[in-house]
């Protein structure tokens, strides 16, 4: 298996570093899945389904696990950094479709990081007692994103080490919520019956459609596992370690999410939980008023900071891979010789995130856009698994259980549709992002045609060999 190389500005080849073993990869996955979703969107989910807030998280967990099996088959079969773009190219062989999938994944990372940046700023403002104001939150978000970009440029080793620290902090925060729930239950506080009150959903829509609408939000909390496949070339022996590590990471996060959501609704009713941008702070305030809220506020900020760091790490690496394979301008593939980081791709993705923070801002819309983009990609990846079943490679790899790719493709396609109650603004944001990508792709095609070169060509196929 060869190392990934890219030409830097001086024309020399620079390779990515394999720094992630099973432990670091597990923390990467857990840290990416945990974070902004549960810390920032639990209240919004409760606003859709009332007391049964845990049900959408459970549905999202099952949906994510089904698709994760398809990702595992492909990443162990083709352990390369291009991820979903590589799988799409292998399955369909259409350059433009490959581009759309790759840019959608990259855009989802940017919208996810922008969501985290806004959540960080809102928690920071509340923790330090700053007056509410859109301008102040936006300014804090932009400074925060600039710091994330600086860490990303510094190096993948530094970024992964930061991820380890932040993951431990965010795990601690969620364990505090779970322990507060256990303490409240033992002391007769709270109403755990609310978590199983299916009649708490208002209106005449029944239970099914509110749960579907809430799942479109909750699914944002379960995404992140797909980021890890884009780090395959910076992982040690990816074909061997990915299956156990990815499935274990999803199981850990799924159990934690269910416990946290049940605890939250037991201590704070759905109406109150759905107000504001810091739902878990309310849980701490009610369940353990003696606990310093400032400390939990810092924990929350660490959690969402971790989500931003990991997503920007993934987005820049994917953009780098697309440039390297001549799907986007090759300048985006330049790597710093000493730091081994794709610095121009990092600057570009950071600029896009800054634009979203400035002109969109609202956490539910950005989080929902992330889920929308990824669900569309997941549907394609599940189909790609089926189309590549007869493609042979010379090493052992994971095989998704029979039937799961069919279920994954159908369910992901279903959750993309407007019948789920998704905010139309999410389709607009996704369309604008993909439109920017199409312009970049068009520029690349025109430039390469003028040089007598074929955009992409066979390079993406060679990557799988």
Q: Residue 56 — very low, low, confident or very high, per pLDDT cuts 50/70/90?
A: very high
Helix (H) or strand (E) holding 136: helix 134-154
Residue 316 lies in a domain: yes
Residue 269 lies in a domain: yes
Residue 90 lies in a domain: yes
Nearest-angstrom CA–CA distance, 150 and 154? 6
Residue 5 lies in a domain: no
Which of the pair, 130 or 1, is modelled with greater confidence? Answer: 130
Among the listed ranges 13-17, 19-23, 59-63, 388-392, which one has the minimum average pLDDT value? 13-17
Nearest-angstrom CA–CA distance, 312 and 317? 8
Residue 2 lies in a domain: no
Among the listed ranges 6-10, 30-34, 357-361, which one has the minimum average pLDDT value? 6-10
- Quote the pLDDT of residue 315: 84
Among the listed ranges 41-55, 283-297, 359-373, 438-452, which one has the minimum average pLDDT value? 359-373
- Quote the pLDDT of residue 364: 60
**Quick check: 282 pLDDT over 90?**
no
Q: Residue 6 — very low, low, confident or very high, per pLDDT cuts 50/70/90?
A: very low
Residue 395 lies in a domain: yes
- Quote the pLDDT of residue 71: 92
- Quote the pLDDT of residue 14: 40
**Quick check: 120 pLDDT over 50?**
yes
Those residues with Cβ within 8 angstroms of residue 69's Cβ, 6 or more apart along the chain or in another chain: 398, 400, 401, 404, 405, 408
**Quick check: 113 pLDDT over 90?**
no
Helix (H) or strand (E) holding 66: helix 54-77
**Quick check: 9 pLDDT over 70?**
no
**Quick check: 203 pLDDT over 70?**
no
What's the distance, CA 139 to chain centroid? 23
| In 288-387, alpha helices (H) | 293-324, 343-359, 363-387
Mean pLDDT, the chain, rounded, equals 81
Which of the pair, 84 or 20, is modelled with greater confidence? Answer: 84
**Quick check: 458 pLDDT over 60?**
no
Residue 20, classed as helix, strand or coil, is: strand
- Quote the pLDDT of residue 13: 40
Residue 8 lies in a domain: no
Residue 229 lies in a domain: yes
As for how many domains the chain has, the answer is 1
Residues spanned by the domain of 415: 19-463
- pLDDT per position as a tens digit, 168-192: 888 888 899 999 888 887 888 878 8
Please report, in angstroms and rounded to a whole number, the separation of the first and last CA atoms in the chain. 9
Which residue from 260, 255, 269, 256 is spatially nearest to 193, judged by alpha carbons?
Answer: 269
Nearest-angstrom CA–CA distance, 115 and 374? 15
- Quote the pLDDT of residue 157: 67
- pLDDT per position as a tens digit, 426-444: 899 899 989 988 888 888 8
CATH of the domain at 331: 1.20.1740.10
DSSP state of 235: B
């Amino acid at each position: 298996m060869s190392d990934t190389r890219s030409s830097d500005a001086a024309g020399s080849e620079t390779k990515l570093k394999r720094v992630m073993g099973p432990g670091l990869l597990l923390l990467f996955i857990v840290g990416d899945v945990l974070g902004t979703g549960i810390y920032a969107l639990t209240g919004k989910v409760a606003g859709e389904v009332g007391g049964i807030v845990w049900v959408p998280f459970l549905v999202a967990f099952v949906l994510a696990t089904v698709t994760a099996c398809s990702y595992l088959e492909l990443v162990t079969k083709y352990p390369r950094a291009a991820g979903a773009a590589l799988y799409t190219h292998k399955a369909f062989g259409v350059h433009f479709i490959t581009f759309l999938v790759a840019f959608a994944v990259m855009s989802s990372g940017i919208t996810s990081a922008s969501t985290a940046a806004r959540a960080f700023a809102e928690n920071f403002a509340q923790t330090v007692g700053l007056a509410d104001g859109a301008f102040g939150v936006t300014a804090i978000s932009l400074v925060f994103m600039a710091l994330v970009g600086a860490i990303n440029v510094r190096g993948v080793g530094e970024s992964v080490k930061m991820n380890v620290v932040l993951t431990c902090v965010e795990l601690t925060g969620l364990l505090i919520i779970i322990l507060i729930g256990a303490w409240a239950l033992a002391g007769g506080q709270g109403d755990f019956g609310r978590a199983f009150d299916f009649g708490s959903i208002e209106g005449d829509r029944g239970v099914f459609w509110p749960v579907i609408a809430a799942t479109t939000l909750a699914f944002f909390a379960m995404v992140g596992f797909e980021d890890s496949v884009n780090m395959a070339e910076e992982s040690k022996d990816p074909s061997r370690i990915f299956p156990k590590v990815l499935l274990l990471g999803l199981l850990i996060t799924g159990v934690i999410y269910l416990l946290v959501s049940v605890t939250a609704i037991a201590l704070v009713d759905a109406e109150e939980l759905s107000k504001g941008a810091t739902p878990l702070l309310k849980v701490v305030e009610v369940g353990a008023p003696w606990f310093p809220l400032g400390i939990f506020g810092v924990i929350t900020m660490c959690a969402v900071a971790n989500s931003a760091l990991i997503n920007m790490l993934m987005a820049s690496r994917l953009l780098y891979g697309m440039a390297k394979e001549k799907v986007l301008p090759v300048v985006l593939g330049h790597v710093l010789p000493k730091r081994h980081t794709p610095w121009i791709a990092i600057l570009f993705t950071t600029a896009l995130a800054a634009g979203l923070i400035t002109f969109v801002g609202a956490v539910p819309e950005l989080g929902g856009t992330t889920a929308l983009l990824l669900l569309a990609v997941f549907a394609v990846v599940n189909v790609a698994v089926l189309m590549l079943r007869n493609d042979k490679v010379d090493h052992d790899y994971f095989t998704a259980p029979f039937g799961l790719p069919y279920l994954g493709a159908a369910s992901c396609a279903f959750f993309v549709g407007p019948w789920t109650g998704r905010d139309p603004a999410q389709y607009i944001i996704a369309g604008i992002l993909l439109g920017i990508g199409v312009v970049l792709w068009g520029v690349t095609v025109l430039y390469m045609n003028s040089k007598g070169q074929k955009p992409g060509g066979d390079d993406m196929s060679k990557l799988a060999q």
